[in-house]
Amino acid sequence: MTVRKNQSALTADEKRRFVAALLELKRSGRYDEFVTTHNAFIVSDTDDGERTGHRSPSFLPWHRRFLLEFERALQSVDASVALPYWDWSVDRSPRASLWAPDFLGGTGRERDGRVTDGPFSASSGNWPINVRVDGRTFLRRSLGAGGRQLPTPAEVESVLSISTYDMAPWNSASDGFRNHLEGWRGVNLHNRVHVWVGGQMATGVSPNDPVFWLHHAYIDKLWAEWQRRHPGSGYLPAAGTPDVIDLRETMRPWHDTSPADLLDHTAHYTFDA
């Protein structure tokens, strides 16, 4: 059974294996297919039209399935690998071990945002940015630029306390847990982390930065934590909602899984705590 661990608790060997599996998916071309899929959804999910991956109730189950697909791809390279998660409310500094050269590498240099250390730096030759929206082919970051701050544990708590999963109009204007976690409304958790990292993580092609998976693995863990705290609350809407994925409606691009099938993560993986 896959156990997803806090990235800060990984051993040197676990980090090495995770990085090696990422590099192999990149080399084989499979990695970039995930970037392409994410960008296709992010530019087509709209508040007043069809919406599946983002700004909608299915933001959470869609990303759960997307991460499962990615984790299975990693495990096809090395069966011992699981996706780690990044609790950015605790490891909230560019000096966290997450950003060390033996793991994801650090922030970008001042002049052009280029990441210059770690396994994913352009100079390593192993991490070309192929699926992109501009001419730059190197991984970029600007961790915490402009004095931006990651969400605090108190802010996370305030969102976990919201008992309703989601609410009409089921988009970026909604009240409820999902949209506060996604960040279009309120204290802003998920969206703010993308902006804090900067570089490709702030764009539609955000999975170009491997931290995408660790960020979303933690968002996914927060969904599980919310379920634990609100056992009487379930996914909404239940049925009959135009442009929105209802509980038992299948999701693109897989067409074979509904939110109802993804509510219980323990069928696929557990967490370390």
**Where along the sequence are the contacts to another protein (CB under 8 A)?**
36-37, 39-44, 46-49, 55, 112-113, 131-136, 169, 171-173, 183-184, 190-192, 194-195, 202-206, 252-253
Query: How far is 33 from 141, CA to CA, in rounded Å?
Result: 21
CB-wise, 121 or 171, nearer to another protein?
171
Nearest distance in Å: CB 187, another protein: 14
For another protein, which is the closer residue by CB, 34 or 269? 34
Q: DSSP letter at 150?
A: P
The token pair that represents 257 in the structure block: 């899984």
On the 0-12 / 13-18 / 19+ scale of CB atoms within 10 A, 66 is buried
Nearest approach, Cβ of residue 232 and another protein (Å):
28
Q: Which is nearer to another protein, 64 or 132 (CB)?
A: 132
- DSSP annotation of 270: E
Closer residue to another protein in complex, CB, 92/194: 194
Alpha-carbon 70 to chain mean position? 11
Q: Decide if 70 contacts 83 (C-beta within 8 A).
A: yes
**What minimum distance in Å lies between the beta carbon of 169 and another protein?**
7
For the bound state, the minimum distance from the C-beta of residue 140 to another protein, rounded and expressed in Å, comes to 9
Residue 37 CB, nearest approach to another protein (Å): 7
- 271's enclosing H/E stretch is strand 269-271
Contact yes or no for 215/193 (Cβ under 8 A): yes
Q: Is 248 helix (H, G, I), strand (E, B) or coil?
A: coil
The residue (of 8 and 44) whose beta carbon lies closer to another protein is 44
